[in-house]
């Protein structure tokens, strides 16, 4: 069983899937000879050529629009947006075109487009290379939004993304690219969307977290375990659609819920999860649903002290766990 980093999981999966399906091609800024700004596509142009690994102009609108057109003609494009912060120029193509094609054609047309993009802070990238965009797009029907946190999940979910017939926004946390390593099974597998994973079993309270925050939550859970606080950590993995059943089953078992996300607090993914718990597990709760998230200021400050102030981390999560456990 090989041990891969998250970014090695992306590269290897793209390579395997391109060998499997000749209709898969990649386009984006510097994805060719350079191998992408984070080297996620390193080596692919040497094997598959510049007809399937295509350097694009510096134009995110065009990258997605070309992907939509190719998908409608039966190809399976992978459109790489170099940083999630720059996906906004393609908002109209994603929301008003890709996400609506199946609905507006009464199921006659599909749009098998995978849009990969690194997101999140913690790398001192400053205001335009650190944003979390998931809440904006998870609100849109017709668009899958996924955020795997481990190499195993990245492999299984990227394979699945390259098989579904609807558009997928595949979010890859840039700090977790090389920070996180993990076993990847030798056997071939996929992980369907909408299936959360219990990353750590516990009985006293539930922490729901994804991406880099899931790893910080695991760290915090191990710390409080030394004091006898048993924390269950749920990784939603897919943000649209959410796996309500797994989240609710855990909260009904522990009766306390803490949601952690790196995005701004107000109207983030955690707000939706909190509403689901309040609606469908209210009778089981022994404490208010709590959240740890970034403050409602533009993300993310460049200076290290300000970045530390902005970003949730294991210390902040640990403090919230102890407060919730004592409620």
Averages of pLDDT over each 10 residues, the chain, 327 residues:
96 98 98 96 98 97 98 97 97 98 96 98 93 97 98 98 98 98 97 98 98 98 98 98 98 98 97 98 98 96 95 98 97
Q: Please pick, among 129, 139, 173, 215, the residue that the annotation labels catalytic.
A: 129
CB atoms within 10 A of CB 300: 25
What's residue 148's pLDDT?
Answer: 98
Six-digit token string for 194? 């909408």
* 262 vs 118: CA distance, rounded Å: 14
Quick check: helix, strand or coil at residue 299? coil
What's residue 155's pLDDT?
Answer: 98
Decide: 219 and 310 in contact? Cβ < 8 Å: no
Residues contacting 308, CB < 8 A, separation 6+: none
Whether 129 sits among the annotated catalytic residues: the reply is yes
Tell me 95's DSSP state: I
What's residue 120's pLDDT?
Answer: 97
What spatial distance separates the first Cα and last Cα of the chain, rounded to whole Å?
Answer: 43
What's residue 1's pLDDT?
Answer: 83
Decide: 50 and 96 in contact? Cβ < 8 Å: no
What's residue 294's pLDDT?
Answer: 98
Tell if the pTM clears 0.85, that is, is over it: yes
Strands of the 114-119 sheet, one edge to the other = 53-55, 24-28, 76-80, 114-119, 168-173, 144-146, 238-240
Six-digit token string for 155? 């492999």
Cis ω for the linkage preceding 241 (within 30 of 0): yes
């Amino acid at each position: 069983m090989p041990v891969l980093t998250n970014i090695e999981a992306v590269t290897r999966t793209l390579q395997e899937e391109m060998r499997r399906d000749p209709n898969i091609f990649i386009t984006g800024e510097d994805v060719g000879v350079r191998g992408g700004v984070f080297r996620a596509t390193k080596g692919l142009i040497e094997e598959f050529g510049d007809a399937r690994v295509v350097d694009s102009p510096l134009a995110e609108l065009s990258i997605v629009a070309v992907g939509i057109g190719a998908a409608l003609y039966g190809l399976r494009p992978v459109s790489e947006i170099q940083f999630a912060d720059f996906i906004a120029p393609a908002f109209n193509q994603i929301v008003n075109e890709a996400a609506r094609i199946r609905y507006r054609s009464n199921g006659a047309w599909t749009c098998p487009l995978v849009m990969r993009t690194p997101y999140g802070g913690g790398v001192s990238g400053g205001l335009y290379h650190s944003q979390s965009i998931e809440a904006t797009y998870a609100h849109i029907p017709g668009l899958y939004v996924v955020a795997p946190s481990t190499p195993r999940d990245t492999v299984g979910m990227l394979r699945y993304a390259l098989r579904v017939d609807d558009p997928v926004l595949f979010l890859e946390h840039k700090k977790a690219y090389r920070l996180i390593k993990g076993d990847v099974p030798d056997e071939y597998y996929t992980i369907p969307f909408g299936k959360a994973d219990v990353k750590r079993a516990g009985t006293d309270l539930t922490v729901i977290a994804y991406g880099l925050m899931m790893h910080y939550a695991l760290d915090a859970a191990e710390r409080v375990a030394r004091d006898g606080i048993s924390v269950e950590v749920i990784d939603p993995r897919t943000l649209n659609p959410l796996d309500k059943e797994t989240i609710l089953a855990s909260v009904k078992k522990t009766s306390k819920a803490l949601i952690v996300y790196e995005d701004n607090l107000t109207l983030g993914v955690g707000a939706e999860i909190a509403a689901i718990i309040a609606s469908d597990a209210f009778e089981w709760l022994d404490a208010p649903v709590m959240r740890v998230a970034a403050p409602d200021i533009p993300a993310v400050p460049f200076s290290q002290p300000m970045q530390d102030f902005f970003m949730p981390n294991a210390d902040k999560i640990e403090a919230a766990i102890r407060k919730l456990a004592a409620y």
